[in-house]
Amino acid sequence: MTTASSTPVGNYSIMVTGTGSSATHSTSITLTVNSPPLGPRLVQATAAGESVSSTTLIATFPTATAAGHLLVLSASVYSGATNQITRVTDTANNAWVKIGSFYTAGHYSDGEMWYAANANPATSVTVTLATATVVAMEVQEFSGVATSNPLDVKSGASNTGTSAASGPGTPTASTDLAVGFIAGHGSIRAITITTAGYTAQPQQTSTNAGATPVSVITGYQVLTSMAPLDFAGSFPGAMYWAAGIALFKPA
């Protein structure tokens, strides 16, 4: 038996009849049609910046996250390779996995992505560094993502100029969740996402007095094909930047 996406949800009584050379027998069965999976979707997002250099930064969700969801953190750190995020923690003690740190030697710019899969409900997320520096971050909560080993592929890059791009990632499933970020360092620039199809979160900027500003903008989309995809953007003036993309498997 097969159903279509247009088959109404519900229980259906079906009479099955078997006919032989000497007898005919019938029995009733029930076919249950459930709602199709919704696929990955954004539940909520939060962000945090700072006005004073610090070794920690905390982002608090509007409401507690739901059990089993995926949490994805994107951060802009004024450090390059010398002082990256050492750990990510939350109020539910979830296990956070580092997707990548994207930077170029000699540049004080570091963009990082972390995730917590199948997370227990949390109210806030904290990043910690060894030495105080300037950080801005955004955290997004997604449902409909695989609860075990959800990360499919990743890509990232860092440089300087008036445009940024993560480099392409090729999904292994046509309905992957793509999450990308662009981090800016050294200048306050409005970042515009130029890759089509992404829903963007508001840009988060840290502008502490006497220190170099950093900013980060994130976006996401649910894919409809297995074509390579990047996360790219532009800004009106040159600055150091880092960009990354992570593709996550659907549930």
**Which residue from 229, 40, 216 is spatially nearest to 112, judged by alpha carbons?**
216
Q: What is the pLDDT of residues 159-182, one digit of tens each?
A: 999 999 999 999 999 999 999 999
Give the pLDDT of residue 10.
83
Question: Which token pair is 210?
Answer: 């006497």
Q: What is the pLDDT of residues 79-117, one digit of tens each?
A: 989 999 999 999 999 999 999 999 998 898 999 999 999
With respect to residue 36, please indicate whether it lies within any of the assigned structural domains. no
Check whether 58 has a pLDDT greater than 90.
yes
With respect to residue 142, please indicate whether it lies within any of the assigned structural domains. yes
The residue range of the domain holding 165 is 41-248
Task: State how far the alpha carbon of 145 is from the alpha carbons of 96, 202, 219, in Å.
Answer: 16, 23, 16
Give the pLDDT of residue 44.
98
Q: Which residues contact 173 (CB under 8 A, 6 or more apart)?
A: 152, 223, 226, 249, 250
Place of tokens 């159903």: 3
Check whether 194 has a pLDDT greater than 70.
yes
Check whether 38 has a pLDDT greater than 90.
no
Residue 134 DSSP label: -
With respect to residue 166, please indicate whether it lies within any of the assigned structural domains. yes
With respect to residue 26, please indicate whether it lies within any of the assigned structural domains. no
Residues 198 and 149: beta-carbon distance below 8 Å: no
Confidence of residue 231 (pLDDT cuts 50, 70, 90): very high
Question: Which token pair is 32?
Answer: 């249950």
Residue 38 DSSP label: -
With respect to residue 98, please indicate whether it lies within any of the assigned structural domains. yes
Give the pLDDT of residue 5.
57
With respect to residue 95, please indicate whether it lies within any of the assigned structural domains. yes
d(CA 85, CA 78): 11
CA 66, 76, 115, 119: dihedral to nearest 10 degrees?
-20
d(CA 157, CA 149): 23
% of the chain residues with pLDDT over 90: 79
**Which residue from 113, 127, 222, 126 is spatially nearest to 158, judged by alpha carbons?**
113
Q: Which residues contact 189 (CB under 8 A, 6 or more apart)?
A: 215, 235, 236, 237, 239
Average confidence score pLDDT of the chain = 94
Residues 245 and 195: beta-carbon distance below 8 Å: no
Give the pLDDT of residue 212.
84
Residues 96 and 84: beta-carbon distance below 8 Å: no
- The count of domains in the chain is 1
With respect to residue 160, please indicate whether it lies within any of the assigned structural domains. yes
Question: Which token pair is 54?
Answer: 């610090």
- Residue spans of beta strands (DSSP E) within the chain: 10-19, 24-33, 41-48, 54-60, 69-77, 85-90, 97-103, 110-119, 124-133, 135-143, 151-165, 177-185, 192-193, 199-200, 204-206, 214-222, 232-248
